[in-house]
Amino acid sequence: MGTLAPHETSCAIFIDIRPGQVLQVAYDYSGNQPMTHEQACEKARPVAAMVVENLDRGT
């Protein structure tokens, strides 16, 4: 396992798929411009939505 990204500049969204199965969408930022946790989550949310949409198509 790798190290955890700092909470201040990252966001992890966990998607409960079914019992015993979870997907994680993570946005980790280590760039030069300041970024808050909320801004990182704004980047992660659309990706999480796409994951859920694609999972729904497969069922």
pLDDT 10s digits, 10-58: 899 999 988 999 999 999 887 788 889 999 999 999 999 999 999 888 7
Give the Cβ contact number of residue 48 at 10 Å.
20
Question: What pTM does this model have?
Answer: 0.72
Report the distance separating Cα 42 and Cα 46, nearest Å.
7
Joined together, the tokens standing for residue 30 give: 């280590």
Give backbone dihedrals phi and psi of 43, rounded to 5 degrees, phi first: -75, -35
Element (H, E) at 46: helix 37-57
Neighbours of 10 (CB within 10 A): 19
Find how far residue 58's CA is from the centre of its chain.
21
